Structure 1
Amino acid sequence: MSSNRKTLSGGALVVMIILFVALMLVVNVLFRGARVDLTENNLYTLSPGTKEILSKLDEPINLYLFYSDKGTQNLPQLRTYATRVRELLEEMAARSDGHINLEVIDPLPFSEDEDRATTYGLQAVPVSAGGETIFLGLAGTNSTNGQAVIPFFQPEKEAFLEYDVAKLVHDLATPKKPAIALVSSLPMGVGFDPATRQMRDPWAIQQQLSQSFDVRDLNAAGIKSIDADINVLVLVHPKELSEDAQYAIDQFVLRGGHLLVFVDPDAELDTSGADPQNPQAAMFADHSSDLPKLFKAWGVDYDPKKIVLDRARAVAVSVGQGRAPVRHPGIIGLTAEDLNRDDVITANLDSINVSSSGYFGLAKDATGKLVPLMQSSGDAMSSAADRLRMLPDPSALLSDFNPSGERYVIAGRIEGKFKTAFPERTESGHLAESKDDGQIVIVADTDILSDRLWVQVQNFLGQKLMNAFANNGDFMLNAIDNLTGSSALISIRGRATSQRPFTTVEALKRSADDRFRAKEQELQRELQETERKLTELQGAKSSDQAMIMSPEQKAELDNFIKRKADIRKELRDVRRSLDAEIEALGSRLKFFNIVLVPLLVTLAAVGFAMWRVRRRTSA
């Protein structure tokens, strides 16, 4: 009987193993590619925009991830990020229906793989004084020999990792150079300058646009429609556009076209109204621009007679030879704090300069959303634009400065479904409302594009060298680059990062630093007080006793030395208490993870086993 039971138990065990293996094989076939993302911010779940891009691939794309696995053995943080990059690429390859072929390559020093990475244009980053370098970049190719690269995946850009990779795939899938239409009333291109009676060079931003895009200059007066192959329409200082031109812009936006608009309350390079016989004619001419009818339809609130003055970001300017520079609140130097770090256009920019800038808001009846890209500081106010005319001393703007406490939106995105500004029009194909959500990027300054605010152009041996001192040009290129992408690509926003900071530990450190700083300040105050008393005692002594320390001085000095030792001991106690709190926190976490959780699991398993035994016995 006992032998039969053992045989039966052994046979049952074999059958269970066979069934388990068979079940795993069936699950592997039926649920191949299935994943469950249990992370807090769904880090490993692709956004809908990325999925849409992958679903539209109709040709093979080869991705080559060059990652120095051996060279990063002593760089744990970079290795963790490399794993994040690789997992994202693997997820995208799995979702591409076989159109993406991923190859991971470890380019060892002096190998053919290293030469290959360099040929693609990937960046080798030095990691030691001995000249050792590592790679963590991506190269992509398509069936027509098109190439695109991400030279190096920077961990601090993890929030835009998915966007960068999705853009690379999108560019490879649509290799044609994006076409942008440029409508400008400012002298941005090559032309004749009546003031100097010479040919003028194009603005630096115009040259950069021509290198990256298929730029088509449109005459504002002749605009009747926008060609369907235009990816982005750029309006710079639109003045007195005809009804037909505005209607063409309106319908372009409603059918899903992407628009970038630069308006200005006072465009300083606007040459309209110039008269060589009357130098003051241009000075008193209207140099503002606006799109009142279109802005109203889009829910944008903008006053072309108002500018922003910012005391905290005022740029120092020269007011005359031999005079010290003065701060000009109308010329604003925006810093990284004033730029939207969650938007791909401005996320990695550090400084942007604007001059006589206006500002935007949402109208009360607006149905869309205004996402700020650039904002003034809180120490700002609005003012009449004509205050900047005939202004010999910009510091006069600070004499009656009264900040409103508001952060004015100098540039932003308008998102939502747009309605036509021309409901009375009945042309064939007329659209009354956009089918899908659209996006328009609006900027309340045109001087942001002028060379003087962001770049120095020098002539060196016949070559034009550009030395940028601000990110104005990068902003323009980023905005157009973002808008030239498909709606799916534009919809991809920055994601949360995989870095999980120890917030509790950081809070402990901040608290300890505050206490440490307070003790240091107390010590410094007592030192100053002691020096003051010693100086008073020294001053009360006669000249023949100047080099001899009096009993009062010696007592005061001894008292300070003793107090100094006590405070230093208290400072050490603060540091030790911080270490003790962190160690106690670590010990609690270790107890929970190593002892408590396994113990609870074990008790649950034992309880379940006992319940089954009791159930069998009762049966």
Structure 2
Amino acid sequence: MKNQNIYKIVLLWLVGIVVINLLAANYFERIDLTRDQRYTLSSAAKEIVSDVDSPIVIKVFLEGNFPSEFRRLRNETQQMLEEFSAYNSNIKFTFINPLEQNDNAEATAQNFYRQGMPPARISVQENGKSSEALVFPWAVATMGDKTVQIPLLQNKLGATDEERVSSSVQQLEYAVAIALNKLVYPREKKIAVMRGNEELPDAHIADFIKTLQEYYLIAPFTLDSAAVNPQKTLQQLKQYDLIIEAKPTESYTENEKYILDQYVMSGGKSLWLLEAVAMETDSLLNPSGTAFALPQDLNLGDFFFSYGVRLNPVLINDIYSAPIVLASGQGNNTRFNPYPWFYSPLTSSPNDHPIINNIEAVKFEYANPIDTLENNIEKTILLSSSPQTRLEGTPRKISLDMVSRQPDIASYTDGEQPLAVLLEGKFTSVYKNRIKPFEIENPIVKGRETEMLIISDGDVIKNKVQRGKPLELGFEPYTGNTYGNKEFLLNAVNYMLDDKGLIDIRSKEISIAFLDDQKTADEREKWQVINLLLPLVLLGVFAFVFNYLRKKKYLK
């Protein structure tokens, strides 16, 4: 009878195990117990993952002997990829140490540079000594013959390694999701890069356009035919989902303005990078080191006034700014030195809008303040100057001599000035109750829901060119700094073209706890002694108690 009960118990256990395994195989559920839900994928990410029907292999190069904060980044990356893989078994990943089979770290670094994946140089503190190490915070996702690079480390000017890692962890889900999005979905939406009004040449917008081509279909578009066949030009422009006007310097005709107005009324999105003052740093590179900043009229004042904004022909002079690099010496003795240059403001973000959340400071040059006017359009100030700003009217003489003068801090009292404003809503036509430049069928007076971004500096989209080749947008070759221009503009385009699900991932806040490096170094020996002696003490106590109880038991 007793044996039969044992058999029944064993049988019930076996049946229970089989049932549990069948349920686990058919019903999938993961529980995230973290307070900030860091391991819970957003609905937008899950939607992308569910559409992965071919194997995707992700190679992560974040492997090696790292300081604690980068080990955290490596572990967080692994856990995030495990979440993606858990939702779709087609997603596989592996970690690779780029230096494991190559002792020449610099040669490996150069190879990564050539592939567009620059390594990070980090400071390592060990036993009170400081050294430099290379980290390769990149991953590469491959599906068939398509490959996408995934940056895992965010650049932040003046930030500590801990701050950079913390910011990077918050963006891991977005970085992986946007890479999968590129692999899974074909490009469908169209962007027109406007030409014909003396915009920036192709070489100076090449890097950003190349980046956009990974997401969208890109083509140049000119308004030159607006004078002879404006109706056809308007119909052709309506085929595009978004237009980019990159620093036009030639005034717009009424025909061109009406075409652009009706494009907006029909729901077209637009990214405007404009300047109300004509001034270039290159114009200062003359024997006198001076140039004049002059007001610039593009005949767009009424156009934007009707939509609710106004660009003022004054200059932003900001204490919080990027340096200007000037050469000294001749020949082999030439040196490039950075100097303060208050006409290159580095922006702050007055809110946590998804477009600007967790991005590096954006660099402007000779920017102009934007006024926002009352109407029915929702306006969001995305970027502004620092509180220590001074407005300077034009015409104005600009001189390189200012690099050697101390600024009068007391005069910087104009406060934060808007530099980038997002407009959202149903726009009213500029030509409502006005004579139209030309006739079209069914002109639209009250437009559809749309978005428009106004940026008061055309150079925000301008990349440097070195030896005839475009450099990465935001990268300054002489200082080594990388600003957030590219990320800001890319986020803005993604947002306006309705990729809001992915952009919203950027707003996810994750708190990361790090060890105190100074405290760790100060108390290192104490904890080493504790870790060495405590197990021995506990073992001795256990042996003593065990022997005592054993003697007590058998002495009886």
Structure 2 residue 80 is the aligned partner of structure 1 residue 88: yes
Q: Which residue of 2 aligns with 1:495?
A: 508
Q: Matched residue of 1:39: which SS?
A: coil
Q: Which residue of 2 aligns with 1:103?
A: 93
Q: Structure 1 residues 449, 220: CA separation in 2 closer, same or farther (over 3 Å shift)?
A: farther
Alignment of 1:531-546 (within 5 A): none
Cα distance in structure 2, aligned partners of 1:257 and 1:95 = 36
Structure 2 residue 152 is the aligned partner of structure 1 residue 141: no
Structure 2 residue 20 is the aligned partner of structure 1 residue 24: yes
Deviation digits for residues 531-557 of structure 1, max 9, x if unmatched? xxxxxxxxxxxxxxxxxxxxxxxxxxx
Q: Which amino acid aligns with 1:219?
A: L
Contact kept? 1:120, 1:139, Cα under 8 Å: no
Q: Structure 1 residues 12, 422: CA separation in 2 closer, same or farther (over 3 Å shift)?
A: farther
Cα distance in structure 1, aligned partners of 2:490 and 2:79 = 26
Q: Which residue of 1 aligns with 2:239?
A: 228
Q: Which residue of 1 aligns with 2:200?
A: 188
Contact kept? 1:333, 1:351, Cα under 8 Å: no
Q: Which residue of 2 aligns with 1:363?
A: 373
Cα distance in structure 1, aligned partners of 2:86 and 2:261 = 40
Cα distance in structure 2, aligned partners of 1:257 and 1:61 = 36
Q: Matched residue of 2:368: which SS?
A: coil
Q: Which amino acid aligns with 1:102?
A: K
Contact kept? 1:62, 1:101, Cα under 8 Å: yes
Cα distance in structure 2, aligned partners of 1:184 and 1:247 = 16
Contact kept? 2:257, 2:303, Cα under 8 Å: yes
Cα distance in structure 1, aligned partners of 2:224 and 2:267 = 21
Shift of 1:302: 2.3
Contact kept? 1:340, 1:372, Cα under 8 Å: yes
Give the TM-score of the pair, scaled to structure 1. 0.56
Deviation digits for residues 83-134 of structure 1, max 9, x if unmatched? 32233233334445x6x432324458339xx99x979876677899999977
Contact kept? 1:351, 1:470, Cα under 8 Å: no
- Which of 461, 467, 477 is 1:468 aligned to? 477
Q: Structure 1 residues 49, 151: CA separation in 2 closer, same or farther (over 3 Å shift)?
A: closer
Q: Structure 1 residues 12, 291: CA separation in 2 closer, same or farther (over 3 Å shift)?
A: farther
Shift of 1:390: 8.8
Cα distance in structure 2, aligned partners of 1:104 and 1:229 = 40
Identity of aligned residues (%): 16
Q: Which residue of 2 aligns with 1:218?
A: 222
Q: Structure 1 residues 292, 39: CA separation in 2 closer, same or farther (over 3 Å shift)?
A: farther
Cα distance in structure 2, aligned partners of 1:483 and 1:338 = 14
Q: Structure 1 residues 159, 80: CA separation in 2 closer, same or farther (over 3 Å shift)?
A: same
Q: Structure 1 residues 247, 238: CA separation in 2 closer, same or farther (over 3 Å shift)?
A: farther
Shift of 1:370: 0.9
Contact kept? 2:252, 2:298, Cα under 8 Å: no
Shift of 1:179: 4.6
Shift of 1:407: 1.1
Q: Which amino acid aligns with 2:101?
A: F
Q: Which residue of 2 aligns with 1:478?
A: 487
Shift of 1:287: 0.9
Shift of 1:358: 1.7
Report which of the two structures shows the higher radius of gyration computed on alpha carbons.
1
Q: Which amino acid aligns with 1:409?
A: P
Q: Structure 1 residues 146, 43: CA separation in 2 closer, same or farther (over 3 Å shift)?
A: same
Q: Structure 1 residues 472, 422: CA separation in 2 closer, same or farther (over 3 Å shift)?
A: farther
Q: Structure 1 residues 180, 60: CA separation in 2 closer, same or farther (over 3 Å shift)?
A: farther
- Point out which structure has higher relative CO (alpha carbons under 8 A, 6+ apart): 2
The answer to which structure has the higher helix fraction is: 1
Q: Structure 1 residues 492, 130: CA separation in 2 closer, same or farther (over 3 Å shift)?
A: closer
Q: Which amino acid aligns with 1:359?
A: P
Cα distance in structure 1, aligned partners of 2:45 and 2:254 = 38
Structure 2 residue 431 is the aligned partner of structure 1 residue 440: no
Cα distance in structure 2, aligned partners of 1:313 and 1:131 = 28
Cα distance in structure 2, aligned partners of 1:23 and 1:183 = 67
Q: Structure 1 residues 165, 342: CA separation in 2 closer, same or farther (over 3 Å shift)?
A: farther
Q: Structure 1 residues 75, 206: CA separation in 2 closer, same or farther (over 3 Å shift)?
A: closer
Structure 2 residue 36 is the aligned partner of structure 1 residue 41: yes
Alignment of 1:37-436 (within 5 A): 37-54=32-49, 57=51, 60=54, 62-67=56-61, 71-72=64-65, 75-95=67-87, 100-106=90-96, 109-110=100-101, 137-143=138-144, 145-150=145-150, 153=153, 155=165, 156-174=167-185, 179-183=191-195, 185-186=197-198, 188-189=200-201, 205-209=204-208, 211-212=210-211, 213=213, 214-219=218-223, 222=226, 223-225=233-235, 226-229=237-240, 232-237=243-248, 240-242=251-253, 245-250=256-261, 252-253=263-264, 257-268=268-279, 287-289=296-298, 291-292=300-301, 295-296=304-305, 298=307, 300-311=308-319, 313=321, 331-335=342-346, 347=358, 349=360, 352-355=363-366, 357-373=367-383, 375-383=384-392, 385-388=393-396, 402-404=411-413, 406-414=415-423, 416-421=424-429, 427=441, 432-434=446-448
Deviation digits for residues 4-47 of structure 1, max 9, x if unmatched? 7x965x57744653464255234314422x22333222212233
Deviation digits for residues 550-580 of structure 1, max 9, x if unmatched? xxxxxxxxxxxxxxxxxxxxxxxxxx9xx9x
Give the TM-score of the pair, scaled to structure 2. 0.62
Q: Matched residue of 1:27: which SS?
A: helix
Cα distance in structure 2, aligned partners of 1:465 and 1:65 = 28
Q: Which amino acid aligns with 1:301?
A: V
Q: Structure 1 residues 291, 172: CA separation in 2 closer, same or farther (over 3 Å shift)?
A: farther
Q: Matched residue of 2:37: which SS?
A: coil
Q: Matched residue of 1:334: which SS?
A: coil
Q: Matched residue of 1:261: which SS?
A: strand
Contact kept? 2:267, 2:448, Cα under 8 Å: yes
Alignment of 1:605-616 (within 5 A): none
Q: Matched residue of 1:411: which SS?
A: strand
Q: CA RMSD in A?
A: 5.3
Shift of 1:446: 3.0
Q: Structure 1 residues 38, 421: CA separation in 2 closer, same or farther (over 3 Å shift)?
A: farther
Shift of 1:432: 4.2
Q: Which amino acid aligns with 2:177?
A: A
Cα distance in structure 2, aligned partners of 1:269 and 1:185 = 18
Shift of 1:430: 5.2
Cα distance in structure 1, aligned partners of 2:245 and 2:261 = 13
Shift of 1:347: 4.7
Q: Which amino acid aligns with 1:139?
A: V
Q: Structure 1 residues 175, 262: CA separation in 2 closer, same or farther (over 3 Å shift)?
A: same
Q: Matched residue of 1:28: which SS?
A: helix
Contact kept? 1:411, 1:441, Cα under 8 Å: yes
Contact kept? 2:152, 2:172, Cα under 8 Å: no
How many residues of Structure 1 are paired with residues of Structure 2 in the alignment? 451
Q: Matched residue of 1:50: which SS?
A: helix
Cα distance in structure 1, aligned partners of 2:254 and 2:413 = 37
